[in-house]
Amino acid sequence: MKIFKYIAVILVSAFLFSSCSKFAKVMKSKDYEYKLKMADQYFVKKKYRFAQELYNDLFPIYKGSNRFEDIHYKFAYCAYYLKDYLSAEAQFKSFLDYFPNSAKAEEVDFMHALCYFKQSPRYELDQTNTWKAMGQLQTFINTHPGSERNKEAQDIINECYSKLILKDYKSAELYYNLGQYKAAVVCFATLLATYPDAPNADEFKLWVVRSQYRYASLSEITKQPERFNRVIEEVEDFQDRFPESKFLKEAERFLSLSRNNIKTISE
């Protein structure tokens, strides 16, 4: 078995050496037509690193010619397929600057926006690129109202929206889990105000009620009536805003508890 693995390594190494050796010869060639032909072949064969280097080398040669548009287009895609989304974003934008009236302009405009989404990190991290992606994709939809890509663009916007909600939700939830209930009230209330149309907006409101109740329960006895009254106000607001919510009964449970606590304190 080891001998077969050894042979396989030798064969792969020989193949890679042969490929690199051939590519090095192409790079050294002064025959630009040949280099462009090879770049296109590498691109078709999905050998994007080789294609990228050749296109980059040919940029100043063909800039201003009728072939430059195709070179620039494929050069941008090389970066995209290599998952270098920062470079791809810059190249797609550059393409649009050079060729705003290109037949490929709509596609490239979409890809430029998509690169921001591809740079969007996990929800726990800074979401600057997520916001940028949403803005760029919305601009794309507004600029190309009849585009077949608009549904995909809107789906990605919705995905970004959900990620932003999750980030803020987890931050607010952390305050609650740490027992910082006053901060949790503020965070969940802000979450609801920021994303009032979120599918689970009623859940955010329930967390406001829960947090307010816990904050009131742990307060000094002299401050509890005022803070339990605040719970009652939050529940009444919940009833007005989400009368059909599956969380309504739980919210109303805090209403009863708060009224009973106020009654007990006053006796």
- Residue 184: per-residue pLDDT: 97
**Calpha distance 116→266 (Å, rounded):** 58
Whether the CB-CB separation of 212 and 185 falls below 8 Å is answered with yes
19-65, pLDDT tens digit by residue?
Answer: 567 888 888 888 899 999 999 999 999 999 999 999 999 999 999 99
Give the list of residues 6+ apart from residue 183 with CB closer than 8 angstroms, or none.
175
Q: Please, are residues 134 and 161 in contact by the beta-carbon 8 Å criterion?
A: yes
Residues making up the chain, counted from first to last: 267
- Encode pLDDT of 71-130 as tens digits: 999 999 999 999 999 999 999 999 999 999 999 999 999 999 999 999 999 999 999 999
Q: pTM for the full model?
A: 0.80
The dihedral region occupied by 46, where left means phi > 0, alpha psi between -120 and 50, and beta the remainder, is left
Contact assessment for residue 140 and residue 156, using Cβ atoms and an 8 Å cutoff: no
Q: What percent of the chain has pLDDT over 70?
A: 92
pLDDT at residue 267, rounded to an integer: 67
What is residue 134's predicted lDDT score, i.e. its pLDDT?
Answer: 97
Tokens 């294609």, residue?
Answer: 51
pLDDT band at 3 (very low <50, low <70, confident <90, very high): low
How many whole angstroms separate alpha carbon 59 and alpha carbon 47? Answer: 18
